[in-house]
Amino acid sequence: MTAKNNVALLVAGQSLANIGDILYIVTIINFVYILTGSAAVASVIPFTVTSAMFVSSLLTTLLTGRIGLNRLLAATQGLKTAMMAGFGLMLPLLNVSNYYFIFLVIALVALCDGCSNPVSQALIPHYVEPERLVKANGVFEGVYQTINTVMWLAGGAFLLFMDSGQLIWTVALLFLLSSVLLSLLDRVEHRAESESPSSGQQLKEGWITLFQVPVLKRVAVIELLETFAGAVWIAAILYVYVSDVLQAGQQWWGFINGTFFMGLILGGLLFVRFDEFADRHLAKVMFGGLAAGTAATALFGITAIPGAALALSFLVGLGVQLVGIPKQTIIQTSIPEDKLATVYSSLGALGTLTFGVASLLIGITAEWLGVKSVYLLSALLLAVAALVVFSSRKILSKGIQ
């Protein structure tokens, strides 16, 4: 199969999976809230997802050493299909006394997602020539963020004409189609079986690579700072910001999310259009994205004008994408392809843990110092990340280790 066909299958398969993931989360949150009438219980869902994905990121390296990456990706979608079908059958039996079963399903699905996310990222360089990675990453991010934007805006509409059971079966069908498409991908092995290390070595492999390769150490520091800074965009903080700072209706929370995703989409399109320029100036583009994100986040925190908040949210989203795609490309071109899955798994675990801690600390800070303060803190962290990029601009040049 040609590289173009593999890329098309990967994009199509992951797109169907992403659509299903969003519909599934919307359905689960709605079902749990209606069943229990408790916002607190519904809020446990993100915590369950984050915890399960952290565990999955740690364990993914064990699987990549034993199963071909393409087969592992298809298998995770197949497992999610089976779990959605089982959940669909169990749904009529669930009530207030046994709703905890839902959290088991949520955790199992998140375990699969924590595995499939780093594997799909690691597959891209296997199917794309090095000189076309920037454009390929731009296409993947553009499609992914477009789906995010449309589905989060439209997700609630599905609840108006479909009940939870119908939506769960729709999600199961989407996951099934995704697994079929992904199973058609050309075979990609992580390593020959004869070279497979012990389980302990595999668990440590990604972390060892992160600390041994200088460019990856810089990327990990930037990722940590960005992830911590990004915790200010969680729903709980934005809700307070819209209410206390903008003093606007809660529909503005949706508008701010929408413009943020639009910025992400534009960023992906820019990399598709200007991929050759970006490929030659990855560190400069990252610095520009962080500088723009720093300024926009600081202004977002202090403005009380809803329209200005929308424009600044758009710029923050654009800045995030201007950093993210070069960062992806640098990782993909700085180490051998057979190490990518383990490195992405380690970065995923690090990012998940950081985001969980950051969300807690950001919430405490907002309660203590006010919601404006956390956006200024976020801007400060992004400024530090920009300084890291500037001071490391030579080593962040593609291919330097």
Q: How far apart are CA 265 and CA 321, in angstroms?
A: 8
For residue 197, name the pLDDT band (cuts at 50, 70, 90): low
Q: Residue 401 — pLDDT band, cuts 50, 70, 90?
A: very low
Digit-coded pLDDT (tens) for 233-256: 876 687 778 878 888 876 677 788
Residues 17-22 have a mean pLDDT of 89
Instruction: Round to whole Å and give the CA distance between 236 and 221.
Output: 26
Per-residue pLDDT tens digits for 79-133: 999 999 999 998 888 887 787 888 888 899 988 888 888 888 888 888 888 778 8
Domains of the chain: residue spans and CATH: 3-185 (1.20.1250.20), 202-391 (1.20.1250.20)
Q: How many CB atoms lie within 10 A of CB 134?
A: 28
CA 48 to chain CA centroid, nearest Å: 16
pLDDT in tens, 261-291: 889 889 888 888 888 888 888 899 999 999 9
Tokens at 300, concatenated: 């977002």
Question: What pLDDT score does 194 carry?
Answer: 43
Mean pLDDT of 159-169: 85
Q: How many CB atoms lie within 10 A of CB 98?
A: 10
Rounded to two decimals, what is the model's pTM?
Answer: 0.74
Q: Which two three-digit tokens encode residue 151?
A: 């589905």
**What's the mean per-residue pLDDT of the chain?**
83
Q: What does the pLDDT look like over 289-326, one tens digit per residue?
A: 999 999 999 999 999 899 999 999 999 999 999 998 89
Q: 172 pLDDT band (50/70/90 cuts)?
A: very high
Looking at residue 323, its pLDDT comes to 93
Per cent of the chain over pLDDT 70 is 90
